[in-house]
Structure 1
Amino acid sequence: MATIERATKEDANVILEIQKLAYISEAELYNDYDIMPLKEDIETAVRSFEKNVVLKYFNEDGKIVGSVRAFGENGDCHINKLMVHPEYQNQGIGRKLMEEIEKYFNHVTFKLFTGSRSTKNIALYEKLGYKGYKTEKLDIEDTVFLFMEK
């Protein structure tokens, strides 16, 4: 049976591998393979556990195939790095991870951003009740992001 659990630093390597596979499709949308999720190194991934709640999704075979992380700050919950291994996408795993991460935070405004051309991601977030409120390019890369909240 598939399950979602809180990840530990020991899971960082596997999660980073999934991240690099999952974000290739984002890089292809923009023809930019220099996006931040593809450049993240293991030290940064491990450090993310200090600030974030990191969840992992196990498939029926006990293999980690998805993850999401989030942190709370000033009444907001910032959700980031939702990822599902490409072989397991379009099976509801991303939705389940989002629903589960939201349970860790109470009485907050949930915030996230995704590439403005990422129509599948935007559709998922809209189904979960998120609404876009601005588009903006960040200093870290050339992608124009859609910022969403719920």
Structure 2
Amino acid sequence: MGMSVTISRATEQDAEQIFRLRYLCFQSEAVIYGDHRLGPLTEALADVRAEIASGIVCVARLGEEVIGAVYGRVTADGAGEIDGLCVHPRLQGHGIGARLLRAAEAAVTESSQVAAFRLSAGNRSEPGLRLYRRLGYRATGRAEGPDGIPRIVLERTAAVGQDPDAGTAVYAATA
């Protein structure tokens, strides 16, 4: 026992585990909204593979098992966008989501200088919203997701050198 959780970039070999994990994790969101058309519940394995090939995907592992995942990318306006954060239901509440989010921010920052990070969460997704606020994200607007779910858009400044636990966490790019 005593295995620790590791965070790393996803590889093509992780695609099926990520696909299954996302499907499992977003079931509770579907119940909250009474809608099973959420993106992670309708995506194909090929979509996950494409995200790994073209974007930034970080995973949390417990041994060989992928127990968490998050997507990151740089948007056309130069912001770092974080999407699809999920942690296996049996392991939520242990800081894995925060570690994944920080890893995605760091990976995005390594690929491009960004002035801000942006993400969105369903307006009834309280556990996620609490996590994002705790990590320094502030609501900046509302939007409707491609699945029709009302979402809250949150952002935080990407200011290098600030304390990660002070609410405005950022990580400098490493050479």
TM category, shorter: over 0.9
Structure 2, unmatched stretches of 5+, are: 157-175
State the 4+ residue runs in structure 1 displaced beyond 3 angstroms: none
SS in structure 1 at match of 2:154: strand
Match of 1:46 in 2: 49
SS in structure 1 at match of 2:148: coil
Is the 8 Å Cα contact of residues 22 and 86 (structure 1) preserved in structure 2? Answer: yes
CA distance in 1, matches of 2:143, 2:80: 19
CA distance in 2, matches of 1:21, 1:8: 20
| More RCO (CA 8 Å, sep 6+) | 1
1:67-146 equivalences in 2 (<5 Å): 67-73=69-75, 74-104=77-107, 105=109, 106-138=113-145, 140-146=146-152
Aligned residues: 148
- TM-score normalised according to structure 1 size: 0.93
Structure 1, unmatched stretches of 5+, are: none
1:56-71 equivalences in 2 (<5 Å): 56-59=59-62, 61-71=63-73
- TM-score normalised according to structure 2 size: 0.80
CA distance in 2, matches of 1:17, 1:47: 15
Q: RMSD of the TM alignment (CA)?
A: 1.2
